[in-house]
Structure 1
Amino acid sequence: MKRRHFLASAAVGAAASAVAAPAIAQSAPEIRWRLQSAFPKSLDTLYGGADLFCRVLADLTDGRFQLQPFAAGEIVGTFQVADAVSNGVVEVGQATTYYYVGKDPTFALPCDVPFGLNARQKNAWMTHGGGLDLCNEFFAKQKMYALPAGNTGAQMGGWFRKEVKTLEDLKGLKFRIGGLGGQVMQKLGAVPQQIAGGDIYPALERGTIDAAEFVGPYDDEKLGFNKVAPFYYYPGWWDGGPLVHVMFNLDKWNELPKAYKAAVHAAAAQVNIDMLGKYDARNPAALRRLVGGGAQLRPFSQEIMEAAYKASNEVYDEISAKNPDFKKVYEALRAFRGEEYLWFQVAEYSFDSFMIRSRGR
Structure 2
Amino acid sequence: MTKLARTAVTAAALTAAMSVAVPATAADKTLLKTPVAFGTHLPALGTPIKWVSEQLPVMSGNKLKMKIYEPGKLVAPPEILEAVSSGKVNSGYATAGYWQGKMPAAALFSAVPFGPEAGEYLAWMYFGNGLKLYQEMYDTAGYNVKVLPCAIISPETSGWFKKPIEKPEDLKGLNMRFFGLGASVMEKLGVGTVQIPGGEIFGALEKGAIDASEFSQPAIDQRLGFHKIAKYNYFPGWHQQSTVFELLVNKDAWGKMSEANQAILETTCKASMTNAIAEGESMQHDVMAKAKANGVEIRYWNNEMLSLFKNTWDQVVEEKKQDAFFNKVYTDMSNFRDGYDLWEANAFLPRPQPNL
Alignment TM-score, normalising by the size of structure 2: 0.90
Q: Distance in 1 between matches of 2:343 and 2:16?
A: 58
Q: Relative to structure 1, is the Cα distance of residues 251 and 313 closer, same or farther in structure 2, using a 3 angstrom cutoff? A: farther
* Counterpart amino acid of residue 226 in structure 1: H
The question of 1:347 aligning with 2:347 is answered yes
Any idea what SS the aligned residue of 2:28 has?
coil
Q: Relative to structure 1, is the Cα distance of residues 212 and 247 closer, same or farther in structure 2, using a 3 angstrom cutoff? A: same
* Displacement of 1:102: 1.6
Deviations 1:289-347 (A, max 9, x none): 223322101112222211221221222221221x2111111111111122222211212
Deviations 1:191-242 (A, max 9, x none): 1111101000000111110111111111011111000100000111110111
Q: Distance in 2 between matches of 1:270 and 1:276?
A: 10
* Displacement of 1:87: 2.1
Query: Is contact 2:118–2:154 with CA below 8 Å preserved after alignment?
Result: yes
Any idea what SS the aligned residue of 1:346 has?
helix
The question of 1:334 aligning with 2:326 is answered no
Any idea what SS the aligned residue of 1:237 has?
coil
Q: Distance in 1 between matches of 2:274 and 2:240?
A: 18
Query: Is contact 1:105–1:180 with CA below 8 Å preserved after alignment?
Result: no
* Displacement of 1:139: 1.9
Q: Distance in 2 between matches of 1:152 and 1:302?
A: 25
Q: Relative to structure 1, is the Cα distance of residues 144 and 348 closer, same or farther in structure 2, using a 3 angstrom cutoff? A: same
Query: Is contact 1:221–1:290 with CA below 8 Å preserved after alignment?
Result: no
* Structure 1 residues 143-162: aligned runs within 5 Å: 143-162=144-163
* Displacement of 1:16: 9.5
* Structure 1 residues 246-285: aligned runs within 5 Å: 246-285=247-286
Query: Is contact 2:43–2:219 with CA below 8 Å preserved after alignment?
Result: no
Partner of residue 317, structure 2 = 316
Q: Relative to structure 1, is the Cα distance of residues 310 and 58 closer, same or farther in structure 2, using a 3 angstrom cutoff? A: same
* Displacement of 1:357: 7.1
* Displacement of 1:42: 3.0
Aligned residue pair count: 342
* Displacement of 1:23: 4.8
Query: Is contact 1:161–1:229 with CA below 8 Å preserved after alignment?
Result: yes
Partner of residue 5, structure 1 = none
Could you list the runs of 5+ residues in structure 2 that have no partner in the other structure? 1-9
Farther-moved stretch of structure 1 (236-245 vs 38-47): 38-47
Q: Relative to structure 1, is the Cα distance of residues 291 and 338 closer, same or farther in structure 2, using a 3 angstrom cutoff? A: farther
Could you list the runs of 5+ residues in structure 1 that have no partner in the other structure? 1-11
Any idea what SS the aligned residue of 1:46 has?
coil
Q: Relative to structure 1, is the Cα distance of residues 349 and 129 closer, same or farther in structure 2, using a 3 angstrom cutoff? A: farther
The question of 1:165 aligning with 2:171 is answered no
Query: Is contact 2:291–2:298 with CA below 8 Å preserved after alignment?
Result: no
Query: Is contact 2:144–2:250 with CA below 8 Å preserved after alignment?
Result: yes
Any idea what SS the aligned residue of 2:298 has?
strand
* Counterpart amino acid of residue 220 in structure 2: D
* Structure 1 residues 136-215: aligned runs within 5 Å: 136-140=135-139, 141=141, 142-215=143-216
Partner of residue 132, structure 1 = 131
Q: Distance in 2 between matches of 1:17 and 1:282?
A: 57
* Structure 1 residues 5-154: aligned runs within 5 Å: 19=17, 22-23=20-21, 26=24, 29-140=28-139, 141=141, 142-154=143-155
Q: Distance in 1 between matches of 2:32 and 2:97?
A: 24
* Counterpart amino acid of residue 315 in structure 2: E
Q: Distance in 2 between matches of 1:87 and 1:162?
A: 45
Q: Percent identity?
A: 30
The question of 1:243 aligning with 2:244 is answered yes
Query: Is contact 2:167–2:304 with CA below 8 Å preserved after alignment?
Result: yes
Q: Relative to structure 1, is the Cα distance of residues 280 and 106 closer, same or farther in structure 2, using a 3 angstrom cutoff? A: same
Partner of residue 5, structure 2 = none
Query: Is contact 2:40–2:50 with CA below 8 Å preserved after alignment?
Result: no
Deviations 1:80-103 (A, max 9, x none): 222222222211111121122122
Q: Relative to structure 1, is the Cα distance of residues 358 and 310 closer, same or farther in structure 2, using a 3 angstrom cutoff? A: closer
Alignment TM-score, normalising by the size of structure 1: 0.89
Query: Is contact 1:152–1:215 with CA below 8 Å preserved after alignment?
Result: no
Farther-moved stretch of structure 1 (141-150 vs 128-137): 141-150
Any idea what SS the aligned residue of 1:269 has?
helix
Partner of residue 8, structure 1 = none
Query: Is contact 1:100–1:179 with CA below 8 Å preserved after alignment?
Result: no
Q: Distance in 2 between matches of 1:234 and 1:22?
A: 61
Q: Relative to structure 1, is the Cα distance of residues 67 and 258 closer, same or farther in structure 2, using a 3 angstrom cutoff? A: same
Farther-moved stretch of structure 1 (264-273 vs 341-350): 341-350
Q: Distance in 1 between matches of 2:260 and 2:126?
A: 20
Query: Is contact 1:110–1:135 with CA below 8 Å preserved after alignment?
Result: yes
Q: Which runs of 4+ in 1 moved over 6 A?
A: 15-18
Deviations 1:175-196 (A, max 9, x none): 1111111111111111111110
